[in-house]
Chains A and B, each alone.
Chain A
Amino acid sequence: GAGVSQSPSNKVTEKGKDVELRCDPISGHTALYWYRQSLGQGLEFLIYFQGNSAPDKSGLPSDRFSAERTGGSVSTLTIQRTQQEDSAVYLCASSPQGGLVTEAFFGQGTRLTVV
């Protein structure tokens, strides 16, 4: 596609429920990143994919968080048993080869609210 697409744009869920957030990267981009931004804060790194593998998942805050990428394209971030502190905007980015020497582009984000 023309840009990075994330869905849904907004998600309200009850505490304890599982949620899935989707990211469609720019066509042909092999690297994909997930970040989290809490209200008024900076961007917190969660996980980085190169193709379908995740060489760096050091930012996932707990084992309730997981992510996968299939076909070197779409990625899903899953949060199990959501807690109120999970409320944030979840941002996805992609780049042509990987962060080392190429430019990353962001989607519009998914605003998650846990009530």
Chain B
Amino acid sequence: GIQVEQSPPDLILQEGANSTLRCNFSDSVNNLQWFHQNPWGQLINLFYIPSGTKQNGRLSATTVATERYSLLYISSSQTTDSGVYFCAVVAYNQGGKLIFGQGTELSVKP
């Protein structure tokens, strides 16, 4: 089945710093989503981005489907950005299930 790899696995930032999280996937995808899991365990939708670039405030994402990767950019990080960031994809040949990467755990220090 499709493999989804996220990097880095862990990241520690000082408040105000910028960061880039990466998601690589091993096969063509129909669907790609980025989620933020907050310290209470809730999964928050950040972007639905099977291709192209989107921006929402300090966050932006780019998916290059032909090269099988997606990037999540966090600018001017805040302590509330802490948590785990997941990338999830639906592969063309695997029906409708959403397959998750292992996540990037981000800690933003004041």
Residues of A within 8 A of B (CB): 31, 33, 35, 37, 41-43, 45, 48, 50, 55-56, 59, 89, 91, 93, 98-106, 108-109, 111
* Given pairs A59-B97, A103-B31, A109-B41, 7 additional interface contacts (CB within 8 A): A45-B98, A48-B96, A48-B97, A89-B41, A99-B97, A103-B45, A106-B42
Q: Which parts of B69-94 form the interface with A (CB within 8 Å)?
A: 86, 88, 90
> Which B residue sits closest to A104, measured CB to CB?
B98
Q: Which positions in B face A, CB cutoff 8 Å?
A: 30-31, 33, 35, 41-43, 45, 48, 50, 86, 88, 90, 95-103
From B41, B45, B90, B99, A100 is in contact (CB under 8 Å) with B90
| Smallest CB separation, A45 vs chain B (Å) | 5
A101–B30 contact, CB under 8 A?
Answer: yes
- Residues A103 and B97 in contact in the complex (CB < 8 Å), given A42-B103, A89-B41: no
Q: How far is the CA of A35 from the CA of B95 in the complex (A)?
A: 16
- From A42, A99, A100, A106, give the contact of B101 (CB < 8 A): A42
| 6 nearest CB pairs, A to B | A99-B96, A103-B48, A106-B43, A98-B96, A43-B100, A99-B90
| CB–CB A93/B98 < 8 A | yes
Residues of B within 8 A of A42 (CB): 86, 100-103
CB atoms of A104 and B97 under 8 A apart: no
- Residues of A near B96 (CB, < 8 A) are 31, 48, 50, 55-56, 98-100
Question: How near does chain B come to A97, taking the closest CB pair, in angstroms?
Answer: 9
Contacts of B101 in A (CB 8 A): 42
Chain B residues in 8 Å Cβ range of A50: 96
Task: Please give the distance in Å from B19's CB to the nearest CB on chain A.
Answer: 20
- Cα(A98)–Cα(B97), bound, Å: 8
A19 to B31, CA, bound (A): 33
Report Cα–Cα, A41/B84, bound state, in Å: 10
* CB of A74 to closest CB in B, whole Å: 19
Minimum CB–CB distance from A65 to chain B (whole Å) comes to 16
**B45, A48: Cβ atoms under 8 Å?**
no
